[in-house]
Amino acid sequence: MSANVRFLCDPLLEARILKPEPAGRFTPDWFRKMSRSMDMPMADGLPGLTVKACLPVTDAFAAGWTIPLSADLELEIFPNGMVQVHDEGAAGFKQITSHHPGQVGAPAAPFGAGVTPLKWMNPWRVAAPDGVSLMYGQPLNHFQLPFLNFTGIVDADRFGAKVNAPFVWTGGAGRFTLPRGLPIIQVVPLSRQALALPAQMRASTPEETVTERAHTQEKHTVESVYARKYRAAK
């Protein structure tokens, strides 16, 4: 099998639909425009920084690939949760379908009454190398999006069909235009070997306690120590 992750589509759609791209290219404006500094010191004396300076958040934005919406869509969301999708067919396929509310347990918690679960119809089959699964889910840290995807992990080195993405609408009632290029699904490769690692839950040894205290001390006294010393090269 190829060592690459491969995004494969119907040849008849290739010229019409948008291609997935590295997820970092979809980092939202609210994060891009945020200042890295708050222009004020923290209690420990280090500069007051915003989430823009948090590399673990940045790395989550950039993990894997993002599948964008291939054509504009209009959704009409009624107060009772009913949804009408106005799709002019520009993408060449139906981009959204619906589920019966009972399929997610509605009207019981956590969804309650008035929720219509929907589904992104993904035009891309994603094939992975041996031993690699793919996590399909919400574009990570994209708090501006008016929907919330379910998250699923697929053994894509074995399963050879397209994977769609169920979601629930969180943007309230009204009429909404979802623009072409909107990030809708993030696909992150996961090693099954890593997922199967055993874990221990116990008290720290004296040596482990020393290490933790030293790293905590660095975190609060050395500016950008994680980036300079501990973050793996990307």
pLDDT at 79 over 70: yes
Domain that holds residue 127: 6-27+62-195
In a domain, 204, yes or no: no
Residue positions counted in the chain? 234
Structural domain contains residue 212? no
Whether residue 1 is contained in a domain is answered as no
Residue 174, burial from CB neighbour count under 10 angstroms (0-12, 13-18, 19+): exposed
Within a domain: 119: yes
Domain with residue 135: its CATH number is 2.70.40.10
Asked if the structure places residue 93 within a domain, the reply is: yes
In a domain, 207, yes or no: no
Residue 169 resides in a domain: yes
Q: Tell me the pLDDT tens digit for each residue of 179-212.
A: 999 999 999 999 999 999 999 999 999 999 999 9
pLDDT, tens digit, 9 for 90 and up, residues 83-102:
999 988 899 999 999 999 99
Q: What is the pLDDT of residue 1?
A: 52
Element of type H or E holding 127:
strand 125-127
Q: Is the pLDDT of residue 128 over 70?
A: yes
Domain count of the fold of the chain: 1
- Tell me the whole-structure pTM to 2 decimals: 0.92
Tell which phi-psi region holds residue 228, choosing left (phi > 0), alpha (psi between -120 and 50) or beta: alpha
Query: Would you say residue 219 lies in a domain?
Result: no
